[in-house]
Amino acid sequence: MLPNHIIPKFDQYLKDVHLSFEAVIIGGTALSILGIIKRETQDCDVLHPDIPQTIKLAAQDFAKIHQLDQDWLNNGPTSLKRDLPDNWMTRLQNIYQGEALTLKTLGRDDLLATKLYAYCDRGFDLDDCLKLNPTPIELESAYEWIIKQDVNPSWPEHVRSMFDELVKEQKSDV
């Protein structure tokens, strides 16, 4: 698990070893830094750029010190870049500015769409989606993007049913 205080510690570690890194992150770590969720996450998903070897090695050394998984800092979601809505880089938001580490994440609509896609694809991101509290307009906009992410003919119907479940859960939380 990735404790919430690990990002500032990694920032200090990078400073101490005279390295710096700027990245776009998504997933649970981004939501945690934004204050949307309070739970610990498994890792830090770097969407962009490809993590340089010097940073990978520093992250692995840092992982040993703090008992983290060796790949706690990873480029797992990098393939998503080619499928994101046009001009996503123009909508980035700064979420963490340290002395050696700068983190950005997707703009709200893009971040929401990626989390909703993960929910529809994997089925276990419902709580994060509820915390993002999407509006009906945001859901409809995300739906149009998400249905293009899978060519299975039943995918649009599956996405709609997942969204219906999300809306039902939103109403029961009120």
39 Rama class: left (phi>0) / alpha (psi -120 to 50) / beta? beta
Can you list the residues of the chain whose pLDDT is less than 50?
none
Query: How many angstroms separate the Cα of 116 from the Cα of each of 4, 43, 119, 149, 172?
Result: 23, 19, 5, 12, 19
Query: 103 has which bridge partners?
Result: 23, 96
> What pLDDT does 92 receive?
98
Q: Is 98 exposed, middle or buried (0-12, 13-18, 19+ CB in 10 A)?
A: middle
The whole-number pLDDT of residue 1 equals 67
Residue with tokens 């969720």: 37
What pLDDT shows up at residue 120?
A: 96
Angle at alpha carbon of residue 164, lines to 159 and 167, rounded to 5°? 125
What is the residue whose two structure tokens read 């809505």?
Answer: 85
Pair of tokens at residue 67? 């008992």
Measured between alpha carbons, how far is 169 from 174 in angstroms, rounded to an integer? Answer: 9
pLDDT reported for residue 4: 75
> String of b and e for 62-88 (b: at least 16 CB within 10 Å)?
bbeeeebeeebbbbebeebeeebbeeb
